Structure 1
Amino acid sequence: YSQALNFDAEMAFWSCLLSLFLWLRVSLTAGEWSAEMPKSVVGLSGSCVVIPCTFSYPANGKTYTEFTGVWYKGYYELTVYHTDTSKISDAFQGRTSLTGDLRQNDCSLKISSLSSSDTGPFMFRIEIKDLDKFTYDQNKTSVTVNETPEIPVVSVEEEVTSVKPVTATCAVFHSCPSDLPRVSWNHNGTHSSLSQPQNPGHLRLTLYTLTFTPSREDHNKHLSCSAEYKVKTVTNYKTLKVKCNNPPANSYQWFSSNGILLGNKHTHRLERVSRHTEAMSCTAINTEGKNSSGPRKINVLCK
């Protein structure tokens, strides 16, 4: 009888110990240091890109309110973003921001004025007052920078007949959700747009539509759209090349804001750009007619 009691007591001890182990394991798993971000994102040169990011930490039922978020390029090589902006590396000064709230576990990073030098892996670090600091170095996002955007694609689903309204769609790829491309058509009509869900590692897609009623004059006419992306911010007194992103054309013309012809090539070269540089426009000319971008001012960062 005594042996049976000892056996039951021993079994109860190990059962309690096992229960305690399982409880500790669940508690640690529920509040561990972890982060979610895509393995890669793609951005357009001169535009912006957003790295979606969420993180968790072992709060253990406590509430913390003071967070310091830090993003690095490579393995601590450059400080891409810091809550204390004075600690951001010169190469990223004025170009980065968080799109979410660290108190809501959102560490998403926005990088503006992308260039080819921005390619590479990026990682996030959190510093929580009265708790701890942690670098999520097992979760890195690789950024790829495309130099030129893809040519917009126009499609019309239904058969086009006169007197019957028709809707055309212009598919435009971009990388900056806060600054969508401006689309223009070579035909009058009613405009609308709809952004599509983003696939990780791919450019974003926005569909622009044009609804109009064809007439006899539209017979055999070429319907096209052009996308204008925000011009990148450049440092004053630098040389800048700008490209006309209108539909494929036989010739091009560049004009200053007062109508002076500046050039006639697809790409126009500007010397010693400054904040005094005038707005300009490009016009694409083909057998169907011509299309102008309208005057655009270049954003210049003075240093």
Structure 2
Amino acid sequence: MIITRKVLVLTLFQGLLTECWCQKWDFPNIIFGLAGSCVEIPCVFSPQNNSGTSSTVWYLYRRKQYLEIFNSQKSSSVLSEYRDRTSLARGRKSCSLRIDPVRRDDSEEYYYPGIAEHQRTNAWSLSGMILLLNVTDDPPIPALSGKNRMVEGNSETIECSVWHTCGSSPPSLKYNKSGQTKRHFEALPRGYWREILHLRYVPTSEDDKTVIQCTATYHNGKTSQRAATLNILYAPKDVMVVLPKPKAIIEGGDVILTCFCKSNPPPLTYEWYRANSKVKLRSEDQKSLILRNVSKDTEPYSCSAINEVGRGESPPTRIPMQYAATGVQVIVLYKAGGATRLKCSFVSSKPNVTHYTWFKDGNKLIYKTGQILVLDNNEDMSGSFSCIAHNIVGSSTSSELELEAIDADNNEEGTKKMIYMTLFPVLGFICLSILVICIYCRYKAHQASSPTSTTQEVHSLKNLQCSDANYTDLVKEEVSDYYNSLKPPFPTQREPGGRNVTSDNHYENIIK
């Protein structure tokens, strides 16, 4: 009987030892956690026929003490400072411990798992395995990767990634540039994870030399960033011809034109063109172009900038020339009575004319600096006049204008004659117009009152035309015989002197 009891006790003890020594755990020996965030300590156990989830316990390492920070069967035995912060992470055969939130006091502490039913069945007692938790206040900084050089318009993929130790609550990633994004993650060894966000980015010249940034936001609200400067290649843009400033460009001088643009990389060569017809200057391929002896009639210039990506062209640029007044001449504005007004006229001036100088018969008129010169009497009106127009560039002189004095009486008589010559044709035209209108009105009134008489007159005219044919029947005859038969036998009288004279008494009888 005693032997039987000993055998039973030995068998039971052997079974307990076998169960204890066969239980194994796998977990890392160190892990990092972010203060205020969460941490998941990975843990798996074996053998498979033992359900660790239903009886898992985690201990805080203290010599000769078993301080529980998690107990899947009895939460009341857990230390108060861990009771609401610890739980098991999901997973098959998992004894993974989740601490949320991680406190700064949790740092530099050692932890190990075990089985709740057997206090001494734990990783430390059986295998001497423990885990060190390091807590940091600084979140990990993301990694940013992509091409160092991008070409405008060509789509590129940029990757932002960051590691963490809380797989169930990963940090969120975000770019400061627009584009299509795609998220995924990777499980790394020993409890670490990698969160990844890809950006499909189309480069533009506006983004060149700007910063692309990826921001990671963690479970505790803390953030970290990684930034990089974009290097985007593009053809020359905003090409323009630049003139020297602030120096004014004077007619007859030299000017340097510069072809300016924005490009990456800088232009390798340049092309220059004259006028709107794009006449290329073959020998000019530099950034600057020197023009000599320029004038206000100089044609506009344009340029092209060329780099390894492409080319860009500027619009034609006209040189803003400054020149003295052109086309200066003296003109008479008004000349009547006792006053004459002369004007110093010009075609163009850049900048504007500042003042004028007047001359009479080659002599300068003092205090006469305005554009209008007023001559008040006949003595002033007679002579040769000229003027000079001045601006900051130079002066231009007019040709001389000969002006004669005008007598007031002759001028008045001439004025009257001019008025008469103008007035009489106008009055004559008005009278003629009235006469034509009256005749037309009488004609219309006559037609409206006697349409029958008009018809009879027409018929009479036709009859007259028909009677003209009778004259064609006349025959020419000798009329001398008839004339002789009509002559009466007048007696003749002898005139004293021997000539016979016809008596006047016969004429008297005929008249009677």
1:35 alignment counterpart? 25
C-alpha distance 47-154 of structure 1, shift in aligned 2 (>3 A): same
> Which residue of 40, 59, 66 maps to 1:72?
59
Structure 1 residue matching 2:206: 3-state secondary structure: helix
Select which of 167, 177, 181 maps to 2:171. Answer: 181
Based on CA coordinates, which of the two structures has the bigger radius of gyration? 2
Amino acid paired to 1:216: S
Residue in structure 1 matched with residue 7 of structure 2 by the alignment: none
Match of 1:135 in 2: 122
CA drift of 1:229 comes to 0.9
1:150 paired residue number: 140
Question: Per the alignment, do residues 107 and 216 of structure 1 end up closer, same or farther by CA in structure 2, a change over 3 Å counting?
Answer: same
Any conservation in 2 of the 1:73–1:80 contact (CA below 8 Å)? yes
The aligned counterpart of 2:196 is: 207
Deviations 1:229-274 (CA, angstroms, capped at 9, x unpaired): 1227xxxxxxxxxx664568xxxxxxxxxxxxxxxxxxxxxxxxxx
**Residue equivalent to 1:193:** 183
- Which consecutive segments of 4 or more residues in structure 1 shift more than 4 A? 28-31, 63-66
Given the alignment, which residue of 94, 97, 101 partners 1:109? 97
SS at match of 2:139: coil
Q: CA deviation at 1:199?
A: 3.2
Relative CO higher for 1 or 2, CA cutoff 8 Å, sep ≥ 6? 1
Contact kept in structure 2, 1:158 and 1:166, CA below 8 Å: no
2: CA distance, partners of 1:115 / 1:132: 27
Output aligned runs, 1:1-303, within 5 Å: 32-56=22-46, 67-75=54-62, 76=65, 78-83=67-72, 84-100=74-90, 105-119=93-107, 120-128=109-117, 134-137=121-124, 138-157=128-147, 159-200=149-190, 203-231=192-220, 245-246=224-225
Residue of structure 2 in register with 1:287 after alignment: none
| SS of aligned partner of 1:143 | strand
Letter in 1 for 2:59: Y
Structure 2 stretches lacking a partner, 5+ long: 1-13, 228-512
* Deviation of the 1:178 alpha carbon: 0.9
Q: CA deviation digits over 1:4-39, x for unaligned, max 9?
A: xxxxxxxxxxxxxxxxxxxx9xxx699712211111
CA distance in structure 1 between the partners assigned to 2:208 and 2:94 by the alignment: 53
SS at match of 2:140: coil
Encode CA deviations 1:41-88: one digit per residue, 9 max, x unaligned. 1111111111111223596xxx87994221111134632111222222
Q: Given the superposition, is the C-alpha separation of residues 228 and 163 from structure 1 closer, same or farther in structure 2, using an over 3 Å criterion?
A: same
State the TM-score, normalized to the length of structure 1. 0.59
- Any unmatched runs of 5+ in structure 1? 1-23, 233-242, 249-303
CA contact (8 A) 2:142 2:224 kept: no
Identity %: 25
Judging changes above 3 Å, is the alpha-carbon distance between structure 1 residues 216 and 152 closer, same or farther for their aligned structure 2 residues? same
Higher helix proportion, which one?
A: 2
SS at match of 2:98: strand
After superposition, the C-alpha distances for 1:139-188 in whole angstroms (9 at most, x for unaligned) are 21111112101322322137411111111111222221111111221111
Deviates more, 1:220-229 or 1:204-213: 204-213
SS at match of 2:70: strand
Partners of 2:200 and 2:137 in 1: how far apart? 32
Count, aligned residues:
205
CA–CA distance in structure 2, aligned partners of residues 195 and 57 of structure 1? 30
The structural deviation recorded for 1:210 is: 1.1
Confirm or deny: 8 A CA contact 2:35 2:102 kept in the other structure: yes
Q: TM-score, normalised by structure 2?
A: 0.36
**Alpha carbons of structure 1 residues 45 and 125: separation in structure 2 relative to 1, 3 Å:** same
Q: Point out the more displaced range, 183-192 or 29-38.
A: 29-38
Q: What is the distance in 1 between the residues matched to 2:23 and 2:52?
A: 17
Cα deviation, residue 132, structure 1: 8.9
Equivalents in 1 of 2:48, 2:96: separation in Å?
Answer: 20
Give the distance between the partners of 1:30 and 1:93, measured in 2 at CA. Answer: 27
C-alpha spacing 1:95/1:66, structure 2 compared with 1 (3 Å): closer
Distance 2:213 2:136 in 1: 23
Aligned-CA RMSD value: 3.3
Letter in 2 for 1:116: R
Query: Aligned to 1:187, what secondary structure does the other structure show?
Result: coil
